[in-house]
Structure 1
Amino acid sequence: MDMDTVIVTQNVSNCASDNIPSIQSYMSATNVYGITLVSIGSIAVITVVVAYLDTLNYIMKNSSSRVKAYSAFVTSVYPVIAVATFFAILVPRAHLLAEALTQGMFMVGMYQLWCLFVGYCGGEAEIVKKVKPGLLSLKVAPCCCWPCCIYLPTLNVNKNTLYYLRLLVLQLPIVQGFVYLILLVMWAERESLYQVNYMYLQPIIIVSILLGIWGMLMTINFLKIVLDQEFC
């Protein structure tokens, strides 16, 4: 390796590490407008946390034991994401950690929301008793937009069907958590390594999210019909 290559490599490494300012340089460059925005953000975060505590208190006192834990977790998504985002603003170099925490919390919250919907309908065994044959349509967003999906059949809802729907949503926190674990390891090793390889992991993230949304919307679609039949 010649001297020019060494210099270029060092420059690239320095640029990669200097892209995001340290908290000391970030705070020293913050003017009155920045302080105002941070103050407004602090008030917003405190408001979210107070609203969450009030909602959590109501859930603990009034929710059914079947859905109490799911409801508490779903509502906790908001304060966790708010606090993580606020700290990412205060400490710019913590953006990836905050992003991973936000993404993970949102995806786990999605699965807890699926469990909450099923719990409100009486559980999986009760749903299977209530549904009529041929109730589960696979032609829901985002797959309904693909030309090949017009041939998807309508399925009967049984124990195995609900199991696969659960897996479609459950893969969200598992896959997303694994991907962000890889990204955090790359970032810890070298920031430029994370920046170069992030785009290659994007297709996995996108496919996982689309499958999770597909499973969630299929569940909502047939549960809505079940509840309409029950209360009409």
Structure 2
Amino acid sequence: MNASEDWNQLELTPEDNSNLNLKDGINETLSIRTHPTLAEYYSNMNAFLTLAIFVGTLLTILNISIYSTTVSRMRRHLNKPLRTPSIGMVSLYPIISLAALVTILIPYSWFMCHTVMHVMFMVGGPIFRILLFRYVGSEQNYAKENAGEAVQINTPPCCCCCLCLPMIVPTKAKLCISRYMVWQMPFWQGSIMLVMNILYYRDRQLYHQVMLFFIPFIVASIVMGVWSLQVTVRMITKLRGDYQLRKKMFCLQLVVMLCKLQYLILYDQLDSIQMGGEYPINHTVYKQTVINILILVEMVLVSMMAQSAYRVPIQVQIDEIQKDHQVTRI
């Protein structure tokens, strides 16, 4: 056997070349989208990531400072029935900031931290509904104060499909249905997110195959919960119009808008921009860092908005003035 025969045997067929090109493309895609291990991440740290960690830490500290100031004011100005749910509502934003910072510090934990952000809305919905009825004492007290006045239910996000529905008079049964529409979120979506986390970290291929089937259930659950909360806000606003309830509701909605909707949009849109280099500090690491820095900035702004929204009511001061008047009369 001569040299030319050896070369002919080693020469690749067109099918072999296409297979090699396909494997190279798959390997390149995996290198771009694969998360590095913690050791690889910090061994190849560059200036961009160092600056991102520094800025993210400062933004988180700022958010916690705003939160501490807000809680301190609530403890002075609110009685216990309103204090606990109010503090629970403003606690959402520093927790989201911590989750975003952890994603920058540990890129592989991004899906778990993204779940924490999502859970904040699921938990915040029932807490906010409790707070709304604490403003009027209870659901029974609301029914007495409302005196059978009808309420419109064509509110966002179902304002278009509910135009044909008549106004309803809040009753005990209808308030119970509204309560179930909000409380289904933590149980229903919590179960789905738990399954998705298990699939993501155990079987990535199966996760990508079934992920799209879960989305309609998550969207339907969110729409149902937000709709019920919007109707409840409209109901309580008629009695407590000076409590900035719509502003508080908007602060809660920003959680799902910024941490869920914006996250999903940017996660796909940033793929059109080439960032990062080869593994381990690749495009995915840069993309997640940019998204989470943006969320950290936005959470600082939302915390400031929530601080402004929860300035009212100043319940303790009102109660003290009423007590002073009673003592003066005596």
What is the TM-score normalised by the length of structure 2? 0.61
- Please say if 1:155 is aligned against 2:175: no
Q: How many residues align?
A: 219
Q: What runs of 5+ residues in structure 2 fail to find an aligned partner?
A: 1-18, 243-330
Residue in structure 1 matching 2:179, options 137, 153, 166: 166
Deviations 1:176-219 (A, max 9, x none): 11110110121232122222221110111111111111001000
- Please say if 1:225 is aligned against 2:238: yes
- 2:318 is matched with none
Q: Is contact 1:103-1:176 (8 Å) kept?
A: no
* Partners of 2:80 and 2:102 in 1: CA distance: 34
* Partners of 2:41 and 2:70 in 1: CA distance: 36
| Pairing 1:71-220 to 2, within 5 Å after superposition | 71-146=86-161, 149-220=162-233
Deviations 1:121-178 (A, max 9, x none): 22211101011434222211111122xx222121111222221111111111111111
Counting aligned pairs with the same residue, the percent is 24
Superposed displacement of residue 119, structure 1: 0.6
* Structure 1 range deviating more: 44-53 or 21-30: 21-30
Q: Is contact 1:16-1:192 (8 Å) kept?
A: no
* Partners of 2:126 and 2:233 in 1: CA distance: 13
* Structure 1 range deviating more: 51-60 or 64-73: 51-60
Aligned CA distance change for structure 1 residues 191 and 21 (closer, same or farther; 3 Å)? same
Aligned CA distance change for structure 1 residues 157 and 35 (closer, same or farther; 3 Å)? same
- 2:322 is matched with none
- Tell me which amino acid in the other structure corresponds to 2:85: Y
Specify the SS of the correspondent of 2:148: coil
Superposed displacement of residue 18, structure 1: 6.1
* Partners of 1:226 and 1:209 in 2: CA distance: 26
- 1:56 is matched with 71
Q: What runs of 5+ residues in structure 1 fail to find an aligned partner?
A: none
| Pairing 1:42-53 to 2, within 5 Å after superposition | 42-53=57-68
Dislocated runs of 4+, deviation >6 Å: none
Aligned CA distance change for structure 1 residues 102 and 177 (closer, same or farther; 3 Å)? same
Q: Is contact 2:152-2:231 (8 Å) kept?
A: yes
* Partners of 2:163 and 2:47 in 1: CA distance: 57
Residue in structure 2 matching 1:40, options 55, 61, 80: 55
Superposed displacement of residue 108, structure 1: 0.4
- Tell me which amino acid in the other structure corresponds to 1:221: R
Superposed displacement of residue 103, structure 1: 0.9
Superposed displacement of residue 228, structure 1: 4.7
Deviations 1:33-91 (A, max 9, x none): 22112101100101111222232222223211111110111111111111011101111
Which structure has the larger Rg over C-alpha atoms?
A: 2
* Partners of 2:121 and 2:151 in 1: CA distance: 26
> What's the Cα RMSD here?
2.4
Q: Is contact 1:16-1:191 (8 Å) kept?
A: no
